[in-house]
Structure 1
């Protein structure tokens, strides 16, 4: 067996170099301003779209690049290294479209996926204010009316709402289903559909460049052929989707952590105290070593989870939860340590580590809190 049997392919390395070069040149220079102004990172979006990095996972059959799950993680990771907000563009495009890839009719895929491949975005609408971790208790309803489904309700915490063209929305179609989870269906909603609107931006701790909004459905009528999959399969599709996308949040967390470590290493080399660079002190060196170890472990776990999801392995759900949970905990620890290594300067907005620390926090919360991830993992372990 060749010596290179446990490594990514050359194409993955080339992709990383290309995305990193683009991120450093086109995205990093705007990251602080995007955060400060709480504005959508249009420069990042334009650069990602023109380079074809905004949705690499869309299959070639739908005018996409057909990149594998690890490639999608590498793109997200390398963008997150310089700007977590911008990394949500490829991440949410995958989250919004995986339900279509898993469950939609061929006609619906042909209708939407080439649009995403060409530069449109697709958001994912599962959560509600009173249905976060408890997704099955959602209240948004869809009722059949002739050739249409009519949606009514509100979805909350929708990433990139107002910027996206398409929304994959879960709604209750059978309120009398014996099991609540089996009464939920998925729909593809277009931003121009009558009765669809978006709320004001949430005022957030981090990822300020990525708008998070409620979305509203007021007698929003959509053609019946825009149901994704069969009636009653929406929640199943939504949860299977997360097995494919939780590793992308892990990748985002790894990227944020790597960016913070890179900044910290650069700083401790230059910063002098007691007549020497603080990087010469063993206490600082131990911190850097632990930060780098956590990042390296998280990165391998993320790629392994992405590969399992791609292959459809039985333990993909466990691996996805583990990768998201572990990587996000690492990102929070590493960014907090990076702020510490910068000392008082790290607490100012003159350096990127305070932004990275704020941005890292959400990775422990969205796409299933880390408490929920641990429940998912334990359930799988106890089932055997």
Structure 2
């Protein structure tokens, strides 16, 4: 395991992200949720601090931080708004894939605009018939001269829609069935044959659009392929280690907010002539919430360091951290709602929004059932 005493620089990074969350995200998060606003101005302000290119090399327009620093940033942003922080995580992953695996020409075409969030990015892997079994995806790209012709659809795509992302990092089948037949293409908004389904009606994550992305004889230049043919699955899996850490960090930030609100509430709420904070059952519940949150946080930081170091067990630890952080975050948010009683169920209080936003983290970037499969396989060799 890794000893996690944050450095002075890491503490500064954490505090910068926290102040941004408190000043720019938290005051508006409830309205973004209620009115389903995609907060592009706030996202671009985040990009000014480097939060749209966290772990992209400085030589390629990023800030060149490691995965621990990324987790610190995303966690603090999620304290202000888990939904918006989660979109930033997805955008970072898509931007990193282009910067890390792309050519100099491709980086010149896209990474500057993505790092400033002049343009927004989405990541397209999931399909309606291949969620957990990502290697079974069916969206096909057939090469015709200097273009690929795409046909198929991607489901549950964050940022998708006419008012959403400008750049779509898409995993497509260019060869035989299985992981080796998958390639990665960049599809830009406005490409003929690219269209979007209706906006999904969701439990949470209301500050980011979500829709199906459709490809109908969509012609994409071969120069938009990231890596060689057949590299797509490898690129996708490398991206997912970091994505899992970031979604875990989102859960930690939302859970910390829920815990802090609960600590305030139990001191103010009186029953039977005294604050409910004085009841042992309340104290025990809060103690468990705080302990579980800290345990999940430490495992996430350890996993983030392993991913940064490219450790042999990095994927196992990323899966462990994602599973624990997202399960713990949802449970803490639910416990916070219970401590608030009937008020926790009302939209006048923020706890129900946090619970709605955190619940999906147990599903995306690989369900927590799939995380258990990954961990078990690693343990059993």
TM range (shorter): over 0.9
Per-residue CA deviation, residues 88-123 of structure 1 (Å, 9 max, x unaligned), is: 232011221333344322322332222211212221
More divergent stretch after superposition (366-375 vs 118-127): 118-127
Q: Aligned ranges for residues 138-287 of structure 1 at < 5 Å?
A: 138-162=137-161, 163-174=164-175, 177=176, 180-287=178-285
Partner of 1:26: 24
Q: Which residue of 2 is the match for residue 121 of structure 1?
A: 120
Stretch deviating more after TM superposition (246-255 or 10-19): 10-19
Range with bigger deviation, 260-269 or 36-45: 36-45
Find the counterpart in structure 2 of residue 367 from structure 1.
Answer: 365
CA distance in 2: counterparts of 1:105 and 1:167, whole angstroms: 17
- The separation in 1 between residues aligned to 2:191 and 2:95, in whole angstroms, is 18
Displacement of 1:18 after TM fit? 1.3
How do residues 347-362 of structure 1 correspond to structure 2 at under 5 angstroms? Answer: 347-362=345-360
Give the SS at the match of 2:80.
coil
Unpaired stretches in structure 1, ≥5 consecutive residues: none
CA distance in 2, matches of 1:158, 1:6: 34
Following superposition, the deviation at residue 9 of structure 1 comes to 1.3
**Are 2:58 and 1:60 equivalent residues in the alignment?**
yes
Q: What is the SS of the residue equivalent to 2:197?
A: strand
| CA distances 1:242-265 after superposition (whole Å, capped 9, x unpaired) | 122211111011111111001101
Structure 2 alignment gaps of length 5 or more: none
Root mean square deviation of aligned Cα: 1.6
2:116 paired with 1:136: no
CA distance in 2, matches of 1:271, 1:82: 24
TM-score (norm 2): 0.95
TM-score w.r.t. structure 1 length?
0.94
CA distance in 2, matches of 1:64, 1:102: 11
Distance in 2, matches of 1:308 and 1:263, equals 32
- 2:351 & 2:214 partners in 1: Cα distance? 36
Count of matched residue pairs:
377
Find runs of 4+ consecutive structure 1 residues off by over 4 angstroms: none
